[in-house]
A and B are shown apart, each in its own frame.
Chain A
Amino acid sequence: MENRFPQTYEVIELCLLAGKIMLQCGAETYRVEDTMSRIAASFGIPQSHSYVTPTGIIFSIDGTEPAKFMRISERTTDLYKVTLVNGVSRKLSSGEMTLEQALIRLKEIQDADFTFPIYQQIIAASISSGCFLMMFLGQWSDFIPAVIAGGLGFVCFVYIHQILKVRFFSEFVASLVIGLIAFLFVKIGVGTQLDKIIIGSVMPLVPGLLITNAVRDLMAGHLVSGLSKGADAFLTACAIGTGIAVVVAFY
């Protein structure tokens, strides 16, 4: 057996690494499974089985090789890495890349940091808050308060998350801050519609990606990952809602 598939071990490692990166960066479950079986197929292994959940991957190739498992602890959203891994799997399928090249490339992708600089992310969050305000039929006079509240809320989210690593709590504090700032602006007379300002500023925190991924996973038959992603999205929504509710309750 060992002689017939000298590379089998490396192929499993490659598939798992690709799957791990994609899952950590917020790809859909079916895409992760599809990519792993495509990579395996490109090395002449048509029968591979994978079981992907948001917290771990089990991957096995038919035969005597044991199944391998990989734990996923931290999940973020980094669509650029998903694109890169997708590109690697395409090149493997078309035979442009060898096994060794692919392994090196994937390790590079895993270690690299492609995210936009933090100040650009903050600016993006602020501006999108303002834009959402206008899309939800707000007034131009509330534009600046929404920009400031959304920006500061996002800053809170990012920095508290770095310290605590508890998503629920950082989202709670961020929405609390947004609520307080919006309330303050309305109180001193700069803003007029408290509701619109809060809704606009909260949008950068809303788990839109999770909700859509959860439902698509469910529809595709990945029941376990669909439900757990749904639970994740529900927790996030609750955290945001609670933060805002605290402010509204006092208001």
Chain B
Amino acid sequence: MIVHLITSFIASAAFGILFNAPKKSLLKCGFVGMAGWFVYIFLVNKEFDAVVASLVAAFVIAVISQIFARMYKTPIIIFSVAGIIPLVPGGLAYDAMRHFVVNDYNGAIQLAAKAFMISGAIAVGLVISEVLYQLFMKIKFKQPKKAN
């Protein structure tokens, strides 16, 4: 588990460099990536489905990114992108491609569908967090008006 935490931290921070995130935010990128991967691995080890694990992890990443974006007044995309990268189903897509190449179309389609589901789950996780955030802000800003 410790190996996972360290490597996911480094990998996410390195992706911050590739995407040219501001130098100050590299460590935070790494932290977001580490948190997301921790949730994902934790759920997968508890024998949850990879799709569910990706959804929850993406949600956690988006929430942390929202908080960081508020705290440091930077666009949220800096943190969320670096955090999402480890979850992208590159391995599944690769396996699917492998099956395509050896003419095993049935296996390939199954794997490709799974990869598609996981990317959808990541996106839904991000969107849910965004919707909740906007809902939260609306409620928060409506309260003072009612008091008046």
The yes or no answer to A28 lying at the interface (CB within 8 A) is yes
A134 with B77: CB separation less than 8 A: no
The minimal Cβ–Cβ distance linking B51 to chain A, given in whole angstroms, is: 15
A63-71, A166-174, A198-206 - the one binding chain B: A198-206
1/0 contact trace for A91-134 toward B, CB 8 Å? 00000000000000000000000111000110011011011101
Secondary structure at the A interface, as helix, strand, loop or mixed, is helix
B8 with A79: CB separation less than 8 A: no
Return the contact of B86 from the options A114, A135, A216 (Cβ within 8 A). Answer: A135
Q: What would be 21 A-B contacts, judged by CB atoms less than 8 Å apart?
A: A26-B77, A78-B19, A79-B81, A127-B11, A128-B11, A134-B7, A136-B91, A199-B90, A203-B88, A208-B88, A212-B84, A215-B127, A216-B127, A219-B127, A241-B94, A244-B94, A245-B101, A248-B97, A248-B98, A248-B101, A249-B102
1/0 contact trace for A204-226 toward B, CB 8 Å? 10101101110110010000000
B10 with A127: CB separation less than 8 A: yes
For A113, the closest partner residue in chain B by CB is B20
A79 with B22: CB separation less than 8 A: yes
Give A contacts to B, CB under 8 Å: 26-28, 31, 77-83, 86-87, 90, 114-116, 120-121, 124-125, 127-128, 130-132, 134-136, 195, 198-199, 202-204, 206, 208-209, 211-213, 215-216, 219, 237, 241, 244-245, 248-249
The yes or no answer to B75 lying at the interface (CB within 8 A) is yes
Q: How many residues of B contact A (CB 8 A)?
A: 43
The minimal Cβ–Cβ distance linking A19 to chain B, given in whole angstroms, is: 14
| Chain A residue contacts of B73, Cβ below 8 A | 87, 90
The yes or no answer to B71 lying at the interface (CB within 8 A) is no
Asked whether A86 and B22 contact (CB < 8 A) given A131-B14, A216-B123, the answer is no
A199 with B81: CB separation less than 8 A: no
B17 with A120: CB separation less than 8 A: yes
A206 with B123: CB separation less than 8 A: no
A79 with B20: CB separation less than 8 A: yes
Asked whether A241 and B75 contact (CB < 8 A) given A83-B22, A120-B17, A134-B3, the answer is no
A114 with B20: CB separation less than 8 A: yes
B90 with A212: CB separation less than 8 A: no
